Amino acid sequence: MRVWFLSAALALMCMAQTATAGTILIVGDSISAAFGLDTRLGWVSLLEQRLREQGYDDKVVNASISGDTSAGGLARLPALLAEHKPDVVIVELGGNDGLRGQLPAQLKQNLAGMIDASQQAGAKVLLLGMQLPPNYGERYTRAFAAVYAELGQEKKVALVPFFLEGAGGRPELMQADGIHPAVGAQGLLLDNVWPALKPLL
In 38-58, which positions are buried (b, 16+ CB within 10 angstroms) versus exposed (e)? eeeebbbbbbbebbeeeebeb
- Asked if residue 9 belongs to a domain, the reply is no
- Asked if residue 8 belongs to a domain, the reply is no
Show pLDDT as tens, one digit a residue, over the chain (201 residues). Answer: 554 444 554 455 544 444 468 999 999 999 999 999 999 999 999 999 999 999 999 999 999 999 999 999 999 999 999 999 999 999 999 999 999 999 999 999 999 999 999 999 999 999 999 999 889 999 999 999 999 999 999 999 999 999 999 998 899 999 999 999 999 999 999 999 999 999 999
- Asked if residue 127 belongs to a domain, the reply is yes
**CA–CA dist 78, 190 (Å, integer):** 26
Domain span at 173: 20-200
Q: Answer yes or no: are the C-beta atoms of 33 and 43 closer than 8 Å.
A: no
- Asked if residue 3 belongs to a domain, the reply is no
- Asked if residue 46 belongs to a domain, the reply is yes
- Asked if residue 1 belongs to a domain, the reply is no
**Total domains present in the chain:** 1
DSSP 61: E
- Asked if residue 10 belongs to a domain, the reply is no
Q: Answer yes or no: are the C-beta atoms of 63 and 79 closer than 8 Å.
A: no
Residue 200 CA, chain-centre distance (Å), reads 12
CATH assignment of the domain containing 89: 3.40.50.1110
Nearest to 168 by CA among 157, 159, 177, 155: 177
Q: Answer yes or no: are the C-beta atoms of 159 and 123 closer than 8 Å.
A: no
Q: Answer yes or no: are the C-beta atoms of 91 and 111 closer than 8 Å.
A: yes
Q: Where are the alpha helices (DSSP H) in 54-121?
A: 70-84, 95-99, 104-120
- Asked if residue 14 belongs to a domain, the reply is no
Catalytically active residues, by annotation: 30, 177, 180
